Amino acid sequence: MKASAQSRLTAVKLISRWLESGIFPEKLLDGVTEHRAFIVEIVQGVIRWKRTINWIIRQCTHGQPDKKTYPFLLAGIYQLFMMEDMEDYAAVMETVEASKSICSRRGSGFVNAVLRNALQNREKLKKELERSALGIRYSHPDILINRWTKNFGKQKTVRLCEWNNIRPKIVVRPNLNRISFDNFMERLKQEGIQAVSHPFAPDKFIELVQGIAIENIPGYSEGLFYVQDPSTSVPVELLDIKPGHIVLDACAAPGGKTILIAEKLQNAGKLIAIDVDEERVTLLRDNLARLKIRNVSVICGDATSDKLSGEISTVQPFDRILLDVPCTNTGVIRRRPDVRWRFSITRLNELVKLQTELLDCAACRLKVKGILVYSTCSLEPEECLQLIKDWLSRNRNFVLVNKVMLFPPETKTDGGFAVALQKMSA
């Protein structure tokens, strides 16, 4: 089998695993090295455009794809309709060739017929898509389309869906403890890597114009930068950290905000970073080590448990607490396209309960006059301002100091919400 067909076969196998297990795509793609960029493009693209592709498949066949042929149709249609630089011949023939190693002769013939039908009717289908319902046109579930239309209006919902379907660029933040912003930009230029200042925070974050493996960016092994969206800086700015503060990062992994906090402390004060997930805590420790940040105590533990209170009793109460809670992630669908398919009201309600518990526990660990910042990467009111208003109605000793809502098409960042709360009395 030619390499071009083999790479498509690898992509289809990964798509099949995702369809069967719902495993996070980033875990699926961990071991992919050969033809990685092409395979990632197809896998992530199929996940992003699945509903639209399903609609196209239905228009092109009276038969029902089976478990073996369906992933090949997803991959083939994605190449024909969404990959502008893909040759039609390669999209059809190499995908059909790849299917022969898994599908029966009849199955491969079915894949060939559907893809050729789709190609023949492509312009007609594209015009029909322009007139179709938003969920089909932009490949989002109706539950999110309906919620966002209610919360933001139709025009902003369309803009959000369009934003979510744009391939994300890599954004990095220089490690200012080791290199200046200007010097890092100059180093990228010397290595022939096109980069521009990010419009949200042009003196802190850099957007790479073209894709590149993270480890191939100059300064990776030296810890000169961290891959990080500018939205992560907002909760840390709201904390108003001063050198000497005792700070708790209560849901810290993988460590982007932890690193920002550590920089602001300037090696004066104390920072404790906690996360409940052992694998993510390992990633947090690895990131801190690579960046040579040493003024952080990392604990693997549940931020809601009494046992944790004992482990941090020598330093609490805290001057500042960051609570970046687990959430539905609807503000980061551009980077994590599978999020749209995992959203449910049941899951939302479970998360709201957990978020409230985390907020209750964090509040008890805060000094009087201290500041607690609650943040999410969600756009859902139940996890954002609505939750905070409900919580403040039960906790009159706290006041809202400041709040920020990030709407991705406007800020050109990941979406999210952050609010600073000050404890006025015990």
* CATH code linked to domain 230-423: 3.40.50.150
Residue 66 CB neighbours (<10 A):
11
Catalytic residue among 161, 251, 361, 377: 377
Give the pLDDT of the chain (426 residues) as one tens digit per residue: 676 889 999 999 999 999 998 887 777 788 777 888 899 999 999 999 999 999 999 999 987 899 999 999 999 999 999 998 999 999 999 999 999 999 999 999 999 999 999 999 999 999 999 999 999 999 999 999 999 999 999 999 999 999 999 999 999 999 988 999 999 999 999 999 999 999 999 999 999 998 888 889 999 999 999 999 999 999 999 999 999 999 999 999 999 999 999 999 998 999 999 999 999 999 999 999 998 888 899 999 898 887 776 667 777 799 999 999 999 999 999 999 999 999 999 999 999 999 999 999 999 999 999 999 999 999 999 999 999 999 999 999 999 999 999 999 999 999 999 999 999 998
Query: Which CATH code, of 3.40.50.800, 3.30.70.1170, 3.40.50.170, 3.40.50.2300, is assigned to 171-227?
Result: 3.30.70.1170
Q: Which tokens hold the place of 205?
A: 């974050």
- The full DSSP string for 47-98 is HHHHHHHHHHHHHH-SS---TTHHHHHHHHHHHHHH-TT--HHHHHHHHHHH
Amino acid at 85: D
**Contacts (Cβ under 8 Å, ≥6 apart) of 357:** 304
Question: CATH 3.40.50.150 region(s) of the chain?
Answer: 230-423
pTM attached to this predicted model: 0.94
Residue 376 structure tokens: 């999410």
- pLDDT value at residue 311: 66
Measure the CA–CA gap between 90 and 230, rounded to whole angstroms: 38
Strand 195-197 to 246-249 pairing: unpaired
Token representation of residue 1: 């089998």
- φ and ψ of 195, to 5 deg: -150, 150
Residue partners of 416: CB distance under 8 A and separation at least 6:
231, 234, 331, 332, 375, 376, 377, 378, 379, 405, 406
From residue 32, give the alpha-carbon distance in Å to each of 25, 76, 251: 12, 20, 29
Query: CA nearest 365: which of 420, 276, 426?
Result: 426
Burial class (CB in 10 A: 0-12, 13-18, 19+), 295: middle
What pLDDT, on a 0 to 100 scale, did the predictor assign at position 11?
Answer: 95
Q: Which residues pair with 323 in a beta bridge?
A: 374
Q: What is the CATH number of domain 3-132?
A: 1.10.940.10
Sheet of strand 416-423, all strands in order from the earlier edge strand to the far edge: 296-300, 270-275, 246-249, 318-324, 366-376, 416-423, 398-406
CA distance 54 to 423: 51
What per-residue confidence (pLDDT) applies to 295? 86
Domain with CATH 1.10.940.10 in the chain: 3-132
pLDDT digits (tens, 9 = 90+) for 90-110: 999 999 999 999 999 999 999
Report yes or no: 238 and 373 within 8 Å, Cβ to Cβ: yes
- Dihedrals phi, psi of 171, to nearest 5 degrees: -120, 130
Q: In this predicted structure, what is the pLDDT of residue 310?
A: 63
377 is catalytic: yes
189 membership: H or E segment, kind and range: helix 181-190
DSSP H or E run through 346: helix 345-364
**Which two three-digit tokens encode residue 236?**
């840390």
Are 327 and 356 a contacting pair, CB within 8 Å?
no
Supply the pLDDT for residue 30. 80
Between CA 46 and CA 57, with CA 52 as vertex, the angle to 5 degrees is 90
> Which residues of the chain are in CATH 3.30.70.1170 domains?
171-227
Whether residue 8 contacts residue 96, with contact meaning beta carbons closer than 8 Å, is answered with: no
d(CA 349, CA 382): 8
Burial class (CB in 10 A: 0-12, 13-18, 19+), 396: exposed
Pairing relationship of beta strands 366-376 and 318-324 according to DSSP bridges: parallel
